[in-house]
Structure 1
């Protein structure tokens, strides 16, 4: 069962990434990407994986230690749970990047490869996007976020 949940997690998030990379201008892509609910399938998998292991999860996360975390990640359910969590968070990051790229009117030929890079190396892809966003965003962005004007 754990192996199946591990495998299915990728396929639950892949369609959303595919929409953002291959159909960024399609109106439904923006509608779908505007909902934080798209991560729910991956989070359901995470919940199923950890439901029977809450004491171990709590012990690992409440008092972090490299050895304990290594043991947690070394278990099949722990590795699959970490995978589901990573895919859910990466999708949230990717969706935010996609939406910001639309706001900034960044070209899909820039964002498509950057999103693919982010799927594989999310911290680096996210960092690159933050630099691009900083370079392309207006200097008065802070006030517009707060005031909406």
Structure 2
């Protein structure tokens, strides 16, 4: 069951990633990417994996220690729970990147490969995106031009 839940966490995130990469201009992609609720099913998987190893999980996070973390990830449920957590947070970061790119007019042709990099190695993808984002100014709302008074 743990192996199934481990794989399920990725498959629950994959449709959102696929939309952002392959259908970035579709109106439903924007609506879906705007919702933080996309991670709720993944977090349900996380809970199913984490609850059976909660004492080990709590020990690893309440008093961070490399050996305790190693003990947690040596357990199948522990490693799979950490994986589900990573998948959920990576998806949230990817959604933020997608929306920021749209706001700043960054080409989907550039963002597609960058989102793939973020799926695989999110810290690298985020750093590249932050560098790219720094080169793009946030668009400001257009100031309406005053209309002449007809009188």
TM-score by length of 1: 0.91
> What is the CA distance between 1:54 and its match in structure 2?
1.8
| Whole-angstrom CA distance in 2 between matches of 1:93 and 1:60 | 24
| Equivalent position of 1:66 in the other structure | 66
| Equivalent position of 1:12 in the other structure | 12
| Whole-angstrom CA distance in 2 between matches of 1:134 and 1:22 | 24
Q: Secondary structure of 2:87's partner?
A: helix
| Equivalent position of 1:124 in the other structure | 124
TM-align CA RMSD: 1.5
| Whole-angstrom CA distance in 1 between matches of 2:76 and 2:108 | 38
Q: Secondary structure of 2:105's partner?
A: coil
Encode CA deviations 1:64-119: one digit per residue, 9 max, x unaligned: 11111011111100110010000000000000000000000111100000000110
After TM superposition, the structure 1 = structure 2 runs for residues 1-149 of structure 1, keeping only pairs within 5 Å, are: 1-138=1-138
> What is the CA distance between 1:60 and its match in structure 2?
1.1
Deviates more, 1:19-28 or 1:128-137: 128-137
> What is the CA distance between 1:120 and its match in structure 2?
0.4
Runs (4+) off by over 3 Å: none
The count of residues paired between Structure 1 and Structure 2 equals 141
> What is the CA distance between 1:56 and its match in structure 2?
1.6
| Whole-angstrom CA distance in 2 between matches of 1:56 and 1:75 | 9
| Equivalent position of 1:147 in the other structure | none
TM-score by length of 2: 0.90
| Whole-angstrom CA distance in 2 between matches of 1:58 and 1:24 | 39
Q: Which runs of 5+ in 1 are unaligned?
A: 145-149
Q: Secondary structure of 1:137's partner?
A: coil
